[in-house]
């Protein structure tokens, strides 16, 4: 007998008939520290006269010998164990040959973990409840705000600085300012001296942390945005947005976000339209923008809207059409005027982006949103 295996008893009880060097079937350490190699008798296999030896990845023990005993004999197995596998050792031929693990090449599928990600995603989508998301969240998923390709270099005091706080402040004023006052007297000096106008600006500046020294510029921006003449397709507003009498501000909507088949499964997108108004029976929506751009020429403005507000234009247009109950091209042409982005810093010489997309174009937007967005 090989002197290296003298430590393996030949008279072990029947319940411990199988050994791998240094480790008993129940994991009891003997003399050798080759712990990664475990032996296991498969239940139900005794009647078939077969034992099973589990081999695990342990390159550090490559080329060592595994001394295996079945209780009826002892054989040495030269091992270069490099992957998870199972040795099926038949007692009938155990004494007649050596099992060389290093020559065994596992099938490729044994070495690859199955990609179950699509399966789990499908299960998650199927069992997920409806969600309510927002335009702001959808925009963040697309990377958020994209600054102008050319940064403005002339933002000096006392101009109103940019930033989200300034934007919220201007929206606050535009939401609550009384258009009727501007229709009575459109002059800036008369308007800014009114007590109610002063109180409106003071409250909004205090809420949003705007320094008092920017009051004059803020008044000028708001007044100019509301009183400058605007042309929207066939309609000209000589007195600006303040001349509009049929209007609503901060209009909330919850838009069902459908699947490609039109059925509601994922949930809703919510938002607030800054300014919805009617001119000559046509309904428009306007969103106030306080972005700081280096130029207000038409090409630069169109590019800025394309890079930042295409998603909003689609979502808000679809929501408003649904709110109006428009379901066909004839109704659309008769009742929907278009969408407006008013960049208040660019008024009066520029800053107005107007679009009246065709019914055919609008009809494709639902499918585009389904393909592009992940709620």
Convert the pLDDT of each residue in 124-174 to its tens digit: 877 777 778 788 887 777 778 887 766 555 444 448 998 899 999 999 999
Rounded to an integer, the average pLDDT of 3-13 is 40
Looking at residue 151, its pLDDT comes to 59
Residue 151 in 3-state DSSP? Answer: coil
Looking at residue 40, its pLDDT comes to 38
Model-level pTM?
Answer: 0.65
DSSP string, 244-285: --SEEEEEEEEEEEE-TTS-EEEEEEEEEEEEEEEETTEEEE
Q: Return d(Cα 258, Cα 66) in angstroms, integer.
A: 63
Closest CA to 116 of 108, 126, 124: 124
Whether the pLDDT of residue 2 is over 90: the answer is: no
Cβ pair 226, 286 in contact under 8 A? no
Residue 300 in 3-state DSSP? Answer: helix
Rounded to an integer, the average pLDDT of 208-226 is 96
Q: Return d(Cα 132, Cα 258) in angstroms, integer.
A: 12
Which domains are present in the chain? 3-111 (no CATH), 124-372 (3.90.320.10)
Instruction: Work out the pLDDT band at 285, boundaries 50, 70, 90.
Output: very high
Summary mean pLDDT of the chain:
75
User: How many C-beta atoms surround the C-beta of residue 104 within 10 A?
Assistant: 14
CA-based torsion, 271, 147, 311, 177: positive or negative: positive
Whether the pLDDT of residue 263 is over 60: the answer is: no
Burial category of 103 from C-beta neighbours within 10 Å (exposed 0-12, middle 13-18, buried 19 and up) = exposed
Range scoring the smallest mean pLDDT among 58-67, 177-186, 313-322: 58-67
CA-based torsion, 324, 330, 332, 335: positive or negative: negative
Cβ pair 304, 289 in contact under 8 A? no
Q: Return d(Cα 65, Cα 101) in angstroms, integer.
A: 10
Range scoring the smallest mean pLDDT among 80-89, 145-154, 181-190: 80-89
Residue 170: enclosing H or E segment and its boundaries? helix 164-176
Rounded to an integer, the average pLDDT of 264-269 is 71
Looking at residue 82, its pLDDT comes to 32
Residue 37 in 3-state DSSP? Answer: coil
Residue 95, CA distances (Å) to 8, 72, 235, 356 in order: 17, 10, 100, 88
Looking at residue 95, its pLDDT comes to 44
DSSP state of 42: P
């Amino acid at each position: 007998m090989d002197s290296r295996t003298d430590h393996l008893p030949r008279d072990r009880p029947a319940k411990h008939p199988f050994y791998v060097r240094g480790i008993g079937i129940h994991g009891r350490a003997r003399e050798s520290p080759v712990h990664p190699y475990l032996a296991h008798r498969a239940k139900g296999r005794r009647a078939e006269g077969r034992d099973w030896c589990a081999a695990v990845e342990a390159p550090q023990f490559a080329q060592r010998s595994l001394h295996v005993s079945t209780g009826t004999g002892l054989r040495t197995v030269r091992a270069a164990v490099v992957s998870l596998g199972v040795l099926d050792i038949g007692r009938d031929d155990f004494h007649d040959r050596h099992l060389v693990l290093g020559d065994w090449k596992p099938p490729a599928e044994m070495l690859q973990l199955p990609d179950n990600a699509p399966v789990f995603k499908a299960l998650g989508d199927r069992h997920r409840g409806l969600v309510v998301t927002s335009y702001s969240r959808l925009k963040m998923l697309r990377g958020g705000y994209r600054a102008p390709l050319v940064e403005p270099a002339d933002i000096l005091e006392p101009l109103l600085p940019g930033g989200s706080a300034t934007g919220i402040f201007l929206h606050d004023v535009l939401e609550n300012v009384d258009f009727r006052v501007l229709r009575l007297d459109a002059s800036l000096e008369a308007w800014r001296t009114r007590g109610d106008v002063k109180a409106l600006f003071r409250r909004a500046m205090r809420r949003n942390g705007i320094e008092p020294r920017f009051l004059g510029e803020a008044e000028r921006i708001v007044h100019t945005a509301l009183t400058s003449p605007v042309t929207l397709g066939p309609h000209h507003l000589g007195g600006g947005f303040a001349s509009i009498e049929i209007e609503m501000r901060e209009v909330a909507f919850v838009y069902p976000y459908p699947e490609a088949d039109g059925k509601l499964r994922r949930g809703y997108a919510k938002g607030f339209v800054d300014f919805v108004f009617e001119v000559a029976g046509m309904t428009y929506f306007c969103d106030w923008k306080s972005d700081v751009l280096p130029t207000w020429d038409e090409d630069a403005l169109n590019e800025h809207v394309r890079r930042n507000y295409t998603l909003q234009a689609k979502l808000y247009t679809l929501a408003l059409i649904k709110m109006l109950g428009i379901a066909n091209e004839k109704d659309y042409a008769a009742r929907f005027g278009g969408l407006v982005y008013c960049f208040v810093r660019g008024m009066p010489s520029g800053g107005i982006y107007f679009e009246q997309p065709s019914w055919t174009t609008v009809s494709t937007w639902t499918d585009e949103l389904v393909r592009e967005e992940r709620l």
